[in-house]
Each structure stands twice: as structure tokens, then as C-alpha cells.
Amino acid sequence: MEEVLLLLMAGLGGFIGSLMSGGSMVTFFILTLLNIPAKTAVGTLKMVIAALTLVSSLTYLKAGILNLGMALTMVLFSLIGSYIGSALLLGMSEETANFVVILFLIMGTYFTLKEPQGKPIFKGKLLQSIVGLAIGIYIGVLGIASTLVVISFLRMFFRLELLKANAMAKVIIFFNNLVAFINYAENGNVDYSIGMFLIFPVIAGSWLGAKTALKMDPKYLKGIFVGISLLTLINLLKKLIG
């Protein structure tokens, strides 16, 4: 019975993670229930989230809403930025990290409600590279609510529609999690048996979540983004106040 419940939770994590964001929180919660070491839990999480975002990315690509050329440029520089961000992590306090996340989520929620107007602020490969680098630094330093923050960046600087921003965010998050997973695996910090136990319901949920997002009215998708952002903000504010 417990195994069935965990599988259902994993499927739910895949669904909401692909639909918008939050899959990593659900999956990490499951891993904590299994009482595996912290580093191994994170390494296993990277493996599962890489699978989740790969399925989402391929589903969005097949649907024709993913700008693959732009995505790959940003992926390349996000990986460089992620390495730089990881090096900066030791010098940042948890309070500062939470403040940065809160700032970006507030901006992202504002632009989602307002709907960005006018021409994109950034154009061309060079400027895509700069934004990709900034995204990577953020992921490397924090990784908290990374999908929401990446979507916020894409909407603010490139005026992407929410669904297209979500699709591109999934590609960026996939490659960053894949590299992180390889690093954890090389150091023996991945539990493959648990990872494979969770990965199939996560993949099924991810596929269903992406399909649902493609058919969903944009105003409902916007509502989900804002709802998850606000819940994340409340949680982070509690940590700052506490």
C-alpha cells in the first residue's frame, strides 16, 4: 500500500512539474520519506527531474511551441553560468539567497498578471547568451523555484507567452539537471533503485502534465503559475521572518 501511495505521489509530482513547477518539491519530499542520505537524495532527485523535464521538452517540441535554436543557445550559456554560480554558492548566506528568489518571483508574478507589452528587451544570440548566463548563475547558486524564475526571466526579457516560456524553461532545467546528475553519479551519490522506482510514474505524470498544459486555456495556466509563485513566496517569507 505504501509503495502504491509513493508511486501516485511521484506521478503527481511529474504532472505538476511538467504543467508548470513544483515537481522537484514533491519528489524530494518522497525521497526524504525513504530516509536516504541527503547528498544521495539530491543526486537521485537530479536524475528524476532530468527525466521529467526531458519528457516535457520533447512533448512541447513535438507540439511546435519550442524555439529550439534559442533554447540551445541559452542552454549552453546557462551551463557555464551554473558552474560560476556553484562557485559563488559558498559566499552567499541563506537569507540573501531567499531574498533573491523572492525578488525574482515577485517580478515574474507581476509580469504574468500584467502581460509584458511592447517589443522584447533583448534580441540576438549575444543577448540570449547573456540572459542564459544569468539564468545559469541563478540555478548554480540557488536552484530554488528555478522553473518559476527561468519563466520570469524569459517573459521579462523576451516577452514570451507563458506556455512558450514554460517549454523553454523545461529544456534549460533538463540540461542543468543532467549535468548535475552526472556529477553526483560520478561521486556515488545516486540511488538508482529508488530513482528507477520513481522515474516511470514521474515520466507518465510529466507527459500528461505537458499535454494538459497544451490544451489548457492560457488564463488558467496563468492562474496556476501565479498560485504556485505565491505559495513559494509565502514559504520563503516564513523562512526570512523566522
CB 100 within 8 A of CB 146: no
Position with higher pLDDT, 219 vs 77: 77
CB atoms within 10 A of CB 165: 23
Mean pLDDT of 101-124: 68
* Cα(143)–Cα(200) distance, integer angstroms: 24
CB 105 within 8 A of CB 232: yes
* Cα(213)–Cα(31) distance, integer angstroms: 26
Q: CA 209 → CA 6, 18, 128, 195, distances in Å? A: 18, 5, 28, 20
CB 108 within 8 A of CB 151: yes
pLDDT for 239? 66
pLDDT for 1? 66
Residues with Cβ within 8 Å of residue 19, at least 6 apart in sequence: 209, 210, 212, 213, 221, 224
Q: What is the largest CA-CA distance in the chain?
A: 54
pLDDT for 117? 60
- Among 113-117, 134-138, 149-153, 182-186, the minimum mean pLDDT is found in 113-117
Among residues of the chain, what percentage have pLDDT more than 90?
A: 28
Position with higher pLDDT, 1 vs 231: 231
pLDDT for 90? 56
Give the predicted TM-score (pTM) of the model.
0.81
Position with higher pLDDT, 116 vs 102: 102
Write the DSSP symbol of residue 91.
G
For the segment 170-218, what is each residue's pLDDT rounded down to a tens digit?
999 999 888 888 888 888 889 999 999 999 999 999 999 999 998 888 8
Q: Is 197 helix (H, G, I), strand (E, B) or coil?
A: helix
Positions of E strands within the chain: none
CA 185 to chain centre: 20
Mean pLDDT of 45-58: 90
pLDDT for 102? 77
Q: State the pLDDT confidence band at 42, using cuts at 50, 70 and 90.
A: confident
Place of cell 528524476: 48
